[in-house]
Amino acid sequence: MTRLFGTDGVRGEANAGLKPELAYRLGRAATIYFGKESEEQPLIIIGRDTRISGEMFEAALTAGICSAGGRVMLAGVIPTPAIAYLARRHHAKAGIVISASHNPFPDNGIKFFGGDGYKLPDSVEDELEAIVHRLEANDDYKRPTGARIGRTEIRTDLQNQYMEFVRSTCKERFDGMKIVLDCANGAAYDVMPKVLRELGAKVKVIHALPNGTNINDGCGSTHLESLQKAVLENGADFGIAHDGDADRCLCVDEKAQLIDGDHILVMCAMDMIKAGTLPYNTVVTTVMANIGFHKAIEKMGGRAEITKVGDRYVLENMLKNGYKIGGEQSGHIIFTDYSTTGDGLITALQVLSSIKRHGGKASELTNIMKTYPQILINVRVASKEGWEENETIKNAIAKGEEELGGEGRILVRPSGTEPLIRVMAEGPEEEQLGRICKAIADVVRKEQG
């Protein structure tokens, strides 16, 4: 049986792969699980992004929670990291976010945070899944009646509470800075413009008119072209792009050059090293970080811890070793001094603060890291098993590594969700990378079917 929870909650096409009936059962399951150790009605906070299906899933989850005797606090449209913060602030048993992040609008998802603000571990997700399957087969759980039925509270003040928290993480003001902000027609469309303006910035906002179907549509952190154009046309100092649920951000400097997650980590790490606030001078990243990132970190006297792809692995390493900053090339950055998860709004403010303290233009910090070309080929295979021991594949990889020498690298890894093996080559010459990558991909395709 396929696992219900993926790498970031339960996702699918709304009303097709992901149905409100499942959302109802997830709400019931969460209340049963989080309420099992207390007679008190468990409090669960729900937030959503701007997708047309969000209200449907909100209603289904609420019905499920109330049917099991839980209390619901509805935050409405709000960034994902806000729910992590609000769950802690209000001593909730859990937080639920209805979002499919950077996916197109027909998709949606349901992801959980614990009352501590952290994403649920696999073991808890497995227990929730077991309850869901029992509800599907035979819903024999006790149902409260009378005054024990759950209640719903619609809160219009939660957005302001989150905004106050985000502002509190920033020590700088941005008076005189001209910023273009792309909200992806998503969850940050109302919050982030207010935060930036209250910190003194002059803000030109684009893609902040959500209609339920335009989230991530040619905009946001997955489509930076309109942000880059707007920065140049408006003579802006900086550009910020969030994804649909605003747990990540990418940026561009005044020349419209990309500032991805690797650059963000370099900028902020350098600022922290100068201030003496980066423990062990260490940044946590994944195997997908650009080789230019590693060279830049090493040059400034820092070091990198490397994890598997996925923010949960980055955070796990940070908490285990006491590191303060980590993230992914995609712009999912975690500052453990401020948050329990990636927060695109906090990330943007930390990058702006680094630029402010630097005292120069954003491009001066962008150019600290040289981005090496990366070529990625996804090879569809019959089986992902056994490729690591295949001598023909190992020889093809070794041949490519020998040709690249110390100026590049090759990474071959299976997809965690699809029947794919990903072949990535990185180095100074794009034509050479393409040839090497294709040669390895052809061998993988032949050997794995």
Query: For the chain, what are the domain ranges?
Result: 10-159, 169-366, 374-448
Q: Is the pLDDT of residue 229 over 90?
A: yes
Whose CA is closest to 81, among 373, 340, 430? 340
Catalytic residues: 101
What mean pLDDT do residues 295-316 have? 94
Q: 405 vs 363, which has greater pLDDT? A: 363
**Topology match between the domains 10-159 and 374-448:** no
Q: What is the pLDDT of residues 116-165, one digit of tens each?
A: 999 999 999 999 999 999 999 988 888 999 999 999 999 999 999 999 99
Q: Is the pLDDT of residue 82 over 60?
A: yes
Best-predicted range by mean pLDDT (6-10, 36-40, 55-59, 440-444): 55-59
Q: Is the pLDDT of residue 228 over 80?
A: yes
Residue 309, pLDDT score: 86
Instruction: Look up residue 42 and give its DSSP letter.
Output: P
Which superfamily is assigned to 10-159 in CATH?
Alpha-D-Glucose-1,6-Bisphosphate, subunit A, domain 3 (3.40.120.10)
Whose CA is closest to 260, among 186, 175, 331, 210? 331
The residue written with tokens 């970190």 in the block is: 297
Residue 1, pLDDT score: 57
Separation CA 214–CA 231 (nearest Å): 22
Percent residues over pLDDT 70 in the chain: 99
What mean pLDDT do residues 213-239 have? 97
Tell me the pLDDT band of 417, cut-offs 50, 70 and 90: low
Mean pLDDT (the chain, rounded): 95
Of 255-264, 408-417, 431-440, minimum mean pLDDT range: 408-417
Containing 409, the helix (H) or strand (E) segment is strand 409-414
Residue 142, pLDDT score: 86
Percent residues over pLDDT 90 in the chain: 86
Residue type, 342: G
Three-state DSSP at 44 gives strand
Do residues 403 and 425 lie in contact, with contact meaning Cβ atoms separated by under 8 Å? no
The two structure tokens encoding residue 6: 């993926």
In the CATH hierarchy, which fold is given to the domain comprising 374-448?
Answer: TATA-Binding Protein (3.30.310)
Q: CA 345, 348, 350, 356: dihedral to nearest 10 degrees?
A: -140
Which superfamily is assigned to 169-366 in CATH?
Alpha-D-Glucose-1,6-Bisphosphate, subunit A, domain 3 (3.40.120.10)
Predicted TM-score (pTM) of the model is: 0.92
